[in-house]
A = this chain, B = another copy of it.
Amino acid sequence: MRWAPDARGRLERAAFDLFGEQGYAATTVPQITARAGLTTRTFFRYFADKREVIFGGDEIPRAAARLISEAPPELEPIDVIRLVLDEVAATRFDGRREETAAWRRMINADDSLRDRDARKRADLVAAARTAFVDRGEAQRSATIFAETGALIFHVALDAWLAEPEARPMGDTIAEIMTWVCVRRLEGTPLGS
């Protein structure tokens, strides 16, 4: 069993299987590693803690930062956000609506996973902010654009998962984006 391939994958599969059978909180790390044929200590070599096996490390922040930095330089930030979110929606969520919903249900059912989920959003914002700064945005506006992108994404994901009929997530994103706008300083503030 030692040196069997894909230790990380085996741990992930064993974990998700057990979480589905018993729930997240009721599943212990020794249970996961026993099913994967590894020791408890090895689990913590692949995942910083039990929560991390649910989330994909820093894959999502990395992907978002890459997409932002690869966007055409002449695009306005809000259009960069649109571009990135459409790409993410099409490649990572369309066609996986039910799995995604189950994933969100599991997170929302456990307090410690809700903590980590919120933290992951903050990490995404931080990565996106850096990417906007690299595009030449000032610190403050980069932060606001990054936060706004995360806001739209989160609201759109929740809404998309709650819809009765499956449709491309990009449609939901487009609807949400008609509600939210971000302006540069010379724009007129609303509601003053």
Using a CB–CB cutoff of 8 Å, the interface residues on chain A facing chain B are 76, 78-79, 82, 114-116, 118-119, 121-122, 140-141, 143-144, 147-148, 151, 154-155, 158-159, 176-185, 187, 189-192
Contact = CB atoms under 8 A, between A and B. Distances in A.
What is the copy number of this chain in the assembly?
A: 2
Q: Is the interface of A mostly helix, strand, loop or mixed?
A: helix
Contact of A151 (B148, B158, B181): B148
A122 B108 CA distance: 12
18 contacts: A79-B191, A115-B116, A118-B118, A118-B122, A140-B155, A143-B158, A144-B155, A144-B179, A147-B154, A147-B155, A178-B187, A178-B189, A179-B183, A180-B183, A181-B181, A181-B187, A181-B189, A183-B190
A144 B140 contact: no
A179 B155 CA distance: 20
Contacts of A121: 118
Contacts of A177: 189, 192
Contacts of A143: 155, 158
